[in-house]
Amino acid sequence: MKIAIGADHAGFVVKESLRKKLAAEGNEVVDFGTNSTESIDYPDFAALVGREVGEGRADRGILVCGTGVGMAMAANKIHGVRAAPLWSEAEAQLAREHNDANVAAFGARLIDEATAEKLTDIFLNTEFAGGRHARRIAKIAQLENS
């Protein structure tokens, strides 16, 4: 799987942990930075990862900031992105099954590295359920054009 990944300064350590894990598992990981804990603006990195996923160059995206909320908000401005801030296993599973989320956003100030890794596994390995949910995803796509 090709995965685009990015973080701000607050998410740098968790992003690095996820990047290494995903690459070791044989995924193609495209790292958009940041590459330190020096303060930066998270929307810049959300846009890079979001465009990679929204334009179909990556299968999924992972973003990490302090809470996951800002990254998700910024990424969801990109056409084709369905980013979800994830804090629990149930959210990771349902975001994929029901919402066909293609970008996960994690809060490094709210979850630890081990939890982020577990949620990433669920996010990457859960299939979209389709059916009635596909109709709802189509309606979300229509909102992008309104």
Q: pLDDT tens string for the chain (146 positions)?
A: 999 999 999 999 999 999 999 999 999 999 999 999 999 999 999 999 999 999 999 999 999 999 999 999 999 999 999 999 999 999 999 999 999 999 999 999 999 999 999 999 999 999 999 999 999 999 988 887 76
79 is catalytic: no
Structure tokens at 121: 């596994």
User: Whole domain around residue 117: which residue ranges?
Assistant: 2-144
Question: How far is residue 89 from each of residues 6, 75, 86, 117, measured CA to CA in Å?
Answer: 21, 21, 8, 11
Taking the model in full, what pTM does it have? 0.96
Number of folded domains that form the chain: 1
Single out the catalytic residue among 9, 79, 98, 133. 98
Which helix or strand (DSSP H or E) is residue 102 part of? none
pLDDT of residue 144: 74
pLDDT of residue 143: 86
Cis amide prior to 34 (ω within 30 degrees): yes
Q: Helix (H, G, I), strand (E, B), or coil: what is residue 63?
A: strand
CATH number of the domain at 57, please.
Answer: 3.40.1400.10
Single out the catalytic residue among 9, 65, 79, 133. 65
Q: Helix (H, G, I), strand (E, B), or coil: what is residue 9?
A: helix
pLDDT of residue 126: 98
